């Protein structure tokens, strides 16, 4: 089965391209303030779909931590929906949930979602996940999904996650690892899309290979009882995640054009070819691995 990855030498080639992309200058003044996938209506819609697509894996992650009625939880980088509903279900009745995002548009969308679903005890705030300004030791569970992969220096976010967690509470996150995707029968269009994704995604120092590092990062942050699980799936025709690599490249089109990595014509051709091939139900599509990680903040003795 052919794999879509960067070069023939696996992780070494992928890491080399990440470093090359990160060293590209002139596109962003303050890389630490930029969400790697950009901001657009298309990206917001993709995040809405993602909430449904990854719901079962998020449930599996939350099963690993202690969270029940009356507890408190926060979803950092919640986007337009995140796992707010999943957290609310577990802490009700009497619990508290906070959704936090740095994009005011996403905060507004998440607040509307909370209102429509009548999720009592849930509030949504605008803040930087690296420095939330919220009180320390105030949540039983601090959660993030596909956040650490999108920011430079994810260690800073993890430090804040630990700070927000009460002693004995839990930090939990779900993050992709984007080195490997499988498309069979193989076609070079998927290699090119993957290459463009890594180049644009890594331009500000974000790490598309962060999934494999989660356990190490958790332990370095001082967490105990660290656990890791890895998930992957083949997506059939009709499952929206089947086209995720094309969707991600489409979302980052402005960044790709600014980098000069491809022109409009090539991007149009790649998008059309990839979607046409994925419309064939006989094509196998496996996109990225997803790492689930959890760890406990040491209790005060």
- pLDDT tens for the chain, 301 residues long, are 333 433 333 334 334 433 443 333 333 323 334 444 445 556 667 667 777 788 899 999 999 999 999 999 999 999 999 999 999 999 999 999 999 999 999 999 999 999 999 999 999 999 999 999 999 999 999 999 999 999 999 999 999 999 999 999 999 999 999 998 999 999 999 999 999 999 998 988 899 999 999 999 999 999 999 999 999 999 999 888 899 999 999 989 999 999 999 999 999 999 999 999 999 999 999 988 999 999 999 998 6
- Residue 49, pLDDT score: 75
Separation in Å, CA 43 to CA 80, 106, 196: 10, 10, 17
Q: Note the pLDDT of residue 128.
A: 95
Q: Report the Cα–Cα distance between both ends of the chain, in Å, rounded.
A: 53
Topology (CATH) of 3-296: Rossmann fold (3.40.50)
Residue 188 confidence (pLDDT): 97
User: Using CA atoms, how far apart are residues 51 and 284, in angstroms rounded to an integer?
Assistant: 23
pLDDT at 183: 96
Give the single-character DSSP code of 242. Answer: G
pLDDT value at residue 43: 63
Query: What pLDDT, on a 0 to 100 scale, did the predictor assign at position 204?
Result: 83
- Spatial distance between the Cα atoms of 86 and 259, rounded to a whole number of angstroms: 38
Helix, strand, coil fractions of the chain, as percent rounded to 5: 45, 25, 35
């Amino acid at each position: 089965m052919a794999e879509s990855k960067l070069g023939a030498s696996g992780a070494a080639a992928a890491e080399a391209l990440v470093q090359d992309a990160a060293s590209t200058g002139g596109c962003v003044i303050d890389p630490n303030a930029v969400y790697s996938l950009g901001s657009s209506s298309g990206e917001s819609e993709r995040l809405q779909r993602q909430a449904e697509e990854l719901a079962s894996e998020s449930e599996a992650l939350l099963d690993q931590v202690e969270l029940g009625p009356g507890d408190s939880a926060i979803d950092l980088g919640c986007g337009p929906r995140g796992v707010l509903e999943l957290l609310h279900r577990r802490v009700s009745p009497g619990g508290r949930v906070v959704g936090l995002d740095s994009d005011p548009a996403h905060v507004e969308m998440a607040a509307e979602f909370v209102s429509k679903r009548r999720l009592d005890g849930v509030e949504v705030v605008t803040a930087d996940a690296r420095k939330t300004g919220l009180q320390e030791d105030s949540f039983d569970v601090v959660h993030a999904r596909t956040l650490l992969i999108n920011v430079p220096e994810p260690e800073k976010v993890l430090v804040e996650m630990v700070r927000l967690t009460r002693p004995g509470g839990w930090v939990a996150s779900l993050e992709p690892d984007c080195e490997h995707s499988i498309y069979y029968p193989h076609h070079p269009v998927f290699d090119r899309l993957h290459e463009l994704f890594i180049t644009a995604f890594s331009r500000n120092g974000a790490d598309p290979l962060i999934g494999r590092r989660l356990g190490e990062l958790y332990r370095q942050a001082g967490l105990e009882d660290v656990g890791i699980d890895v998930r992957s799936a083949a997506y059939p025709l009709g499952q929206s995640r089947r086209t995720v690599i094309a969707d991600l490249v489409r979302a980052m089109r402005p960044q790709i054009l600014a980098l000069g990595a491809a022109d409009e014509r090539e991007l149009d051709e790649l998008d059309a070819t990839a979607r046409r091939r994925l419309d064939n139900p006989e094509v196998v599509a496996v996109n990225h691995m997803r790492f689930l990680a959890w760890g406990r903040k040491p209790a005060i003795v």
